[in-house]
Amino acid sequence: MAEQQTLKQILAEPRTIEDLNIPENLIIDLIFRLAYNEGNVALSRFTEVLKIPKTFIDGILLWMQQEHLVEVSKASVELGRLANVYSLTEAGEERARSALERSQYVGPVPVSIPHYNRGIEFQTTIHAKLSTNQIKNALTNLVLPPDFHRQIGPAVNSASSLFLYGPPGNGKTTIALGIANMLASVDPIWVPYAITAGGQIIQINDRLVHKQIPIEKGRSSELGRIDQRWMLIERPVVTTGGELQMEALDLRFDPIAKFYEAPLQLKANGGMFLIDDFGRQQCSTRDLLNRWIVPLDSKIDYLRLLSGQTIVVPFRQLTVFSTNLAPRDLVDDAFLRRITMKVNVSPPDEKLYFQIFVIEARKKGVPFNKEAFMYLLQKWYREPKRKLQAVHPRDLLNIIISICEYDSIPTTLTPELLDDAARTYFVD
């Protein structure tokens, strides 16, 4: 077994082209495609796009010159080869078209699968543990039972899995997004722009998911010169709901661009994957559970290329399932056993509902009237035996504000306005 590498070793800038651990032809194809797309390309531009040292690219360009595939379209006597601007020759354009037929990917040189796996495994095995106060702060916008954070914190710190269930309108999604925001604010992670296996390129970088952050001076000095094919990002958060299809969990090959897009769980590695409205996806729940059961158990995911080659990657994210359907109607015991924490987000009792109502009224600038509130509680909840929901105060107050604006009267809390709002809001 190879000696465990440190993060500094994993992220170290490659010293030779062999240190990239990928086929050189892959880099040559990238140079051809970039030169074909942009015409005249400076060495600095090649470096900016490909994210590998200038000396590597210069060596390849020198060989391409000797093979009459590129020519110098602009040179600088003072600055030498590193200031050259290159364009393709006729023979080079023919080779470039051939490279474009293989793939249209133009971007950072990909990282090999073993290199990626080591980087993710290292950063998800050793990561900052979140304190009790951090977990509480993540839930600060919700009125929850006093010890609720103790059900959430252990799952977050173990970066395993969490099952949030309970009736709609009581904050499951808000709880999950609060955790996501907290994860994004601490302990950033390094991920590559793209990875490669079997001669194919898999793009991981997604601007909607991966929020790049500046490299701190202290971190840079600690790690030394960094392989620019890796970017420092906030811990990623991928959220999906009823639109989820099975295809999104597998490598997606673009038949036109001819490279792969990473599945959602691969983009979420090192962060959080939230499956909201679990049980309402466009794919069957059984298929979804069968797809997740092995990765949840082994922390390893298996992805397949069109060639049939299987690649093995880490499955290292906090996976959160959120549902308002009965868990027993959705999943079996074998699946529930693999989800570390199951948390019931239950409706508030009258005391918590009162606190939520007061907070929402204060936030919206509606003067609180306890008598009117007790009237609401009695007539619209106790008498019809309606269940309390944490979302009701916000929605009822919004309706009252809209009614008062329409009638051009001051916003107040009265039994009459509560009746108007409740008749509009509740469906009996």
Alpha helices, H only, 345-414: 350-364, 370-377, 392-407
Identify the CA nearest to 231 among candidates 261, 183, 193: 193
pLDDT for the residue 195: 97
In the chain, CATH 3.40.50.300 covers: 112-344
17-47 per-position pLDDT tens digit:
999 999 999 999 999 999 999 999 999 999 9
Q: How do strand 41-42 and strand 85-88 relate by DSSP bridges? A: antiparallel
pLDDT at residue 326 in the model: 77
Q: Which residue has the tokens 């490659």?
A: 14
Note the pTM of the prediction, 2 decimals.
0.84
The lowest-confidence range among 22-31, 121-130, 204-213 is: 121-130
Q: How many CB atoms lie within 10 A of CB 17?
A: 17
pLDDT at 317 over 50: yes
Phi-psi sector, 385: left (phi>0), alpha (psi -120 to 50), beta: left
pLDDT of 7: 87
329 has pLDDT over 50: yes
Tell me the Cα Rg of the chain: 28
Phi, psi of 260 (to 5 degrees): -95, 150
Tokens of 406: 């329409």
Q: If 0-12 CB within 10 Å is exposed, 13-18 middle and 19+ buried, where does residue 171 land?
A: buried
Digit-coded pLDDT (tens) for 214-252:
876 556 667 888 999 999 999 999 998 878 888 889 999
pLDDT bucket at 328, cuts 50 / 70 / 90: confident
Q: Which two tokens stand for residue 53?
A: 């040292």
The tokens for 65 are 């010159």
Rounded to an integer, the average pLDDT of 354-359 is 92
Structure token pair of residue 230: 């890796």
pLDDT value for 278: 82
Q: Which two tokens stand for residue 16?
A: 């030779």
Q: Which CATH architecture has domain 350-425?
A: Orthogonal Bundle (1.10)
pLDDT score at 98: 95
Q: Is the pLDDT of residue 382 over 70?
A: yes
Q: Which positions ≥6 away from 410 have C-beta within 8 Å?
A: 404
pLDDT digits (tens, 9 = 90+) for 154-187: 777 776 788 888 888 888 888 888 888 887 777 8
For residue range 285-301, list pLDDT tens digits in order. Answer: 878 888 888 888 888 99
The mean pLDDT value for 101-117 works out to 96
Tell me the sheet residues that pair with 210. Answer: none
CB 122 within 8 A of CB 278: no
| DSSP 8-state symbol, 83 | G
Q: What is residue 325's DSSP assignment?
A: S
> Is a pLDDT exceeding 60 seen at residue 1?
no
Digit-coded pLDDT (tens) for 89-100: 999 999 999 999
Joined tokens for residue 267: 């983009």
Report the C-alpha gap between 19 and 183 in whole angstroms.
33
CB 188 within 8 A of CB 213: yes
Nearest alpha carbon to residue 245 among 282, 270, 214: 282
* Token code pair at residue 138: 């993540």
Q: Is the pLDDT of residue 3 over 70?
A: no
Burial of 1 (0-12, 13-18, 19+ CB in 10 A): exposed
pLDDT band at 128 (very low <50, low <70, confident <90, very high): low
- The chain-wide mean pLDDT, for the chain, equals 88
DSSP three-state, residue 345: coil
Domain 23-107 belongs in CATH node 1.10.10.10? yes
Domain boundaries for CATH 1.10.10.10 within the chain: 23-107
Q: What local confidence, expressed as pLDDT, does residue 360 receive?
A: 92
Residues 408, 252: Cα–Cα separation, whole Å: 55
Residue 49 Cα distances to 27, 57, 63, 169, 393, angstroms: 12, 11, 20, 46, 51
Domain 112-344 indexed as CATH 3.30.70.260: no
Q: From residue 253, how far is each of 26, 128, 179, 245, 290 by CA, in Å? A: 18, 35, 32, 15, 22
Tell me what percent of the residues of the chain surpass a pLDDT of 70: 96
Mean pLDDT score, 106-113: 96
In the predicted model, what is the mean pLDDT of residues 56-68?
94
pLDDT band at 263 (very low <50, low <70, confident <90, very high): very high
Strand duo 230-233 + 189-192: pairing: antiparallel
Mean pLDDT of 187-191: 90
Alpha carbon 62 to its chain centroid, in Å, reads 40
Residues 90-97: contacts with CB under 8 Å, at least 24 apart: 91/67, 92/32, 92/35, 92/64, 92/68, 93/36, 95/32, 95/69, 96/32, 96/33, 96/35, 96/36, 97/36
Residue 4's pLDDT is 58
CA triple 396-401-405, angle to 5 deg: 150
Coil/strand/helix, residue 230: strand
Helices (H), 23-112: 24-38, 43-50, 54-66, 90-102
For the chain, give every residue range classified as CATH 1.10.8: 350-425
